[in-house]
């Protein structure tokens, strides 16, 4: 019984609320508009006057730089394994995924003298045309080895068209401490599968190329 | 010695120097006004505005001017070349010449010569300003017509119609000032406001002038002559480079001009604010120019504030407001003012003046009540469905349920 009462009360309140909302939405009569409209317009003057003393939203950009959102789509980066070998295998999936046709990949064969990535092939030519790129991130989703990711860097303006076609050396991630620049052999006693599983945690002294 | 007598003793070179000062003053005012407008409107929209060129971006308008001058000067193929070139010149010159009669300072010494910072003091000075403004309309009309293009033509027609209709209201609002000052000379009107500003004594006139000066200068919310969405740029759509710069200059000098006229006629001109007149005695005649500029700045801030607050009006609303509200209202106000003036000059007893004022107030109340009740009756007629069915086909709204109507956004 009490439950029933409670329900009906809620219903009553809801219907009241709806009525109130309907009343609020009801168009004003001409008289109400004439009186309320005049004062509301004066209120508008107060709003603009008050806004003058508010904090401005503008960021003084070149001097002040605000950090982007964590997952902001910026310039691309070609990553490396922890021993310095490149992750890109030249499969061209990124180029195929690209809706703007901004990526060009040409694969090359790895051999025992010159190895850039674990496995058979590596990205010999890798270009991203930032005049075409729309920063949609489909290339990142397509990449099977997480070789291609995006950084937060957004300052991609230049005064020449060809400066905005980024080559492989512009896109490659910097070498971190201990990494050996490719080309060099794989970690001794491992296969490419170990690389893909993330088993390689650093370089081995044998990997250094003797000159 | 009155100001006109004082100005009569000016040698030619002093007049030249004063002309130069007036010109430089107008141009400087324009540069600063554009900067101030952009900065203040930006603040009202929580932006910073131009702050790169010079300290606080103060040189922004100068840089823009240089940029405009260096741009390619295009004359459309369909344009009437001669008129097309003359039109901006007319606009820019007429706005400057109205400054000749504006008193900027009281008595000053210019290179050791006793004078006042006013080029000339015509006995019909204010009429001269109105005349100059009317000639300025030619610039707009000719620019719109000679462009040989649709949008400029429409924009030119709109703004000339606007300027002409609001000039009527403006002229009428000034009549009360003439009646009270007993003169049309600007310097004498300033002198006549020694005790009370006309903005206080003739407050309705001041309000009408303030509204019509916004209409007169084609500024927001009355800037429908340049309504971007409808008319691109209005009469100056086809203009580029220096010719466009001249129109730009003319617009801002016009704003400064109407503000200066408002200052002269209603806010006591170059005199100090009430209670601060000691500054004039202590700091000398040139200091009155500071008061003059401050009062202009006040009006200019009002212009910016309007622009930052109000949306643009529709053309028919604007015309209706000018012809059906401002002009009848100012006509009635002039009648009242002139009656009161004649009464006080003839020494009519106070009782009659009070009775007259009371009668006027009662009459206004009566008219407004009648107007309201007629409006109510019209509303009732609408509610009763006295409206004839439209001659064009309409969807049968009764067929739809409420939710369907909501979905269709009817």
Domain residue extents for chain A: 2-51, 76-206
Residue A7 pLDDT more than 60? no
Which among A29, A41, A48 has the least Cβ separation from residue B305? A48
pLDDT-derived band at A23 (thresholds 50, 70, 90) equals low
| C-beta atoms of B43 and A30 within 8 A | no
Q: Are B300 and B255 contacting, i.e. CB atoms less than 8 angstroms apart?
A: yes
Which among B44, B375, B379 has the least Cβ separation from residue A52? B44
Q: To the nearest whole angstrom, how far is the Cα of A52 from the nearest Cα of chain B?
A: 5
Q: How far apart are CA A161 and CA B85, in angstroms?
A: 40
| C-beta atoms of A44 and B310 within 8 A | yes
Reply yes or no on domain A76-206 having CATH 3.30.70.3270. yes
Look at residue A148 in the predicted model and tell me its pLDDT: 93
Look at residue B383 in the predicted model and tell me its pLDDT: 65
Sort strands A121-129 and A103-109 into parallel, antiparallel or unpaired.
Answer: antiparallel
* Nearest CA among B35, B216, B40 for reference residue B140: B216
Residue A6 pLDDT more than 60? no
Searching chain B, which residue's CA lies closest to the CA of residue A44? B309
Which among A45, A47, A56 has the least Cβ separation from residue B47? A56
Q: To the nearest whole angstrom, how far is the Cα of A164 from the nearest Cα of chain B?
A: 28
Residue B225 tokens, joined: 């002559």
Using one digit for the tens of pLDDT, what is the confidence trace for B45-70?
989 888 888 888 888 888 988 998 89
B-chain CB neighbours of A48 within 8 Å are: 44, 305, 308-309
Cis link prior to B221 (omega < 30° from 0)? yes
Residue B212 tokens, joined: 């019509």
Look at residue B312 in the predicted model and tell me its pLDDT: 83
Residue B114 pLDDT more than 90? no
Residue that the structure tokens 């400029």 belong to: B152
Using one digit for the tens of pLDDT, what is the confidence trace for B325-334?
888 888 988 8
Cβ-Cβ pairs closer than 8 A, A with B, add up to 38
Preferred mutation among A48, A50, A57 to probe B, highest tally of B CBs within 10 A: A48
Which among A31, A41, A52 has the least Cβ separation from residue B43? A52
B-chain CB neighbours of A42 within 8 Å are: none
Residue A103 pLDDT more than 90? yes
Preferred mutation among A34, A50, A52 to probe B, highest tally of B CBs within 10 A: A52
Q: To the nearest whole angstrom, how far is the Cα of A12 from the nearest Cα of chain B?
A: 22
Residue A195 tokens, joined: 């690389």
Searching chain A, which residue's CA lies closest to the CA of residue B39? A52
Look at residue A168 in the predicted model and tell me its pLDDT: 92
Look at residue A21 in the predicted model and tell me its pLDDT: 59
Using one digit for the tens of pLDDT, what is the confidence trace for B153-193?
888 888 888 888 888 888 888 898 888 888 888 888 888 88
* In chain B, % of residues over pLDDT 70: 93
> How much is the average pLDDT of A158-182?
90
Residue that the structure tokens 């950009």 belong to: A61
| ipTM of this predicted structure | 0.70
Q: What are phi and psi of B154, to 5 degrees?
A: -65, -45
B-chain CB neighbours of A31 within 8 Å are: 372, 376
> How much is the average pLDDT of B232-243?
83
Q: Are B25 and B104 contacting, i.e. CB atoms less than 8 angstroms apart?
A: yes
Q: Angle at the Cα of A127 (from A122 to A131), degrees rounded to 5?
A: 160
pLDDT-derived band at B341 (thresholds 50, 70, 90) equals confident
Q: How far apart are CA B253 and CA B358, in angstroms?
A: 43
Q: How far apart are CA A206 and CA A74, in angstroms?
A: 37
Q: To the nearest whole angstrom, how far is the Cα of B314 from the nearest Cα of chain A?
A: 17
């Amino acid at each position: 019984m009490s439950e029933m009462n409670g329900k009906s009360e809620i219903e009553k309140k809801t219907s009241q609320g709806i009525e109130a909302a309907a009343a609020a939405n009801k168009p004003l009569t001409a008289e109400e508009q004439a009186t309320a409209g005049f004062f509301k317009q004066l209120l508008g003057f107060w709003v603009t006057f008050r806004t003058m003393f508010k904090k401005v939203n503008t960021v003084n950009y070149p001097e002040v730089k605000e950090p982007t959102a964590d997952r902001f789509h910026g310039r691309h980066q070609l990553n490396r394994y922890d021993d310095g070998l490149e992750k890109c295998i030249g499969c061209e999936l990124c180029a195929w995924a690209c809706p703007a046709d901004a990526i060009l990949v040409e694969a090359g064969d790895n051999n025992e003298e010159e190895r850039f990535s674990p496995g058979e092939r590596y990205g010999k030519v890798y270009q991203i045309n930032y005049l075409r790129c729309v920063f949609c991130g489909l290339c990142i989703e397509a990449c099977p080895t997480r070789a291609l990711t995006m950084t937060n860097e957004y300052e991609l303006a230049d005064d020449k068209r060809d400066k905005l076609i980024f080559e492989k050396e512009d896109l490659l991630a910097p070498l971190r401490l201990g990494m050996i620049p490719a080309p060099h052999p794989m970690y001794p006693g491992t296969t490419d599968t170990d690389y893909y599983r993330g088993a390689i945690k650093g370089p081995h002294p044998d990997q250094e190329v003797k000159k | 010695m009155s100001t006109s007598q004082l100005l009569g003793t000016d040698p030619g070179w002093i007049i030249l120097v004063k002309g130069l000062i007036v010109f430089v003053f107008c141009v400087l005012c324009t540069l600063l006004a554009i900067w101030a407008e952009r900065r203040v409107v930006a603040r009202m929209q929580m932006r910073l505005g131009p702050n790169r060129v010079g300290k606080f971006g103060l040189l922004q308008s100068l840089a823009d001017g240089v940029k405009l001058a260096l741009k390619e000067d295009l004359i459309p193929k369909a344009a009437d070349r001669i008129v097309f070139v003359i039109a901006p010149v007319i606009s820019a010159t007429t706005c400057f010449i109205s400054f000749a009669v504006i008193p900027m300072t009281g008595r000053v010494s210019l290179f050791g010569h006793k004078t006042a910072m006013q080029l000339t003091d015509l006995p019909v000075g204010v009429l001269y300003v109105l005349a100059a403004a009317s000639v300025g309309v030619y610039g707009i009309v000719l620019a719109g017509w000679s462009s040989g293009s649709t949008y400029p033509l429409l924009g030119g027609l709109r703004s000339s119609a606007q300027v002409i209709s609001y000039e009527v209201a403006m002229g009428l609002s000034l009549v009360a000032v003439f009646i009270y000052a007993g003169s049309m000379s600007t310097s004498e009107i300033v002198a006549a406001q020694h005790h009370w500003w006309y903005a206080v004594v003739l407050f309705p006139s001041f309000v009408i002038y303030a509204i019509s000066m916004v209409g007169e200068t084609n500024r927001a919310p009355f800037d429908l002559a340049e309504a971007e969405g409808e008319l691109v740029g209005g009469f100056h759509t086809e203009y580029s480079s220096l010719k466009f710069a001249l129109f730009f200059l003319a617009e801002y000098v016009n704003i400064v001009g109407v503000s200066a006229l408002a200052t002269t006629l209603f806010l006591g001109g170059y005199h100090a604010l009430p209670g601060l007149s000691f500054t004039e005695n202590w700091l000398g005649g040139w200091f009155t120019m500071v008061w003059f500029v401050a009062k202009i700045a006040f009006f200019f801030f009002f212009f910016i504030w309007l622009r930052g607050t109000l949306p643009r009006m529709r053309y028919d609303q604007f015309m209706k407001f000018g012809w059906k509200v401002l002009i009848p209202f100012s006509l009635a106000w002039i009648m009242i003012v002139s009656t009161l003036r004649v009464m006080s000059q003839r020494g009519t007893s106070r009782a009659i003046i009070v009775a007259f004022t009371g009668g006027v107030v009662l009459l206004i109340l009566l008219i407004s009540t009648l107007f309201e009740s007629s409006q109510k009756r019209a509303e009732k007629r609408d509610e009763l469905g006295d409206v004839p069915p439209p001659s064009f086909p309409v969807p049968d709204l009764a067929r739809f349920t409420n939710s369907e109507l909501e979905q269709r956004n009817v």
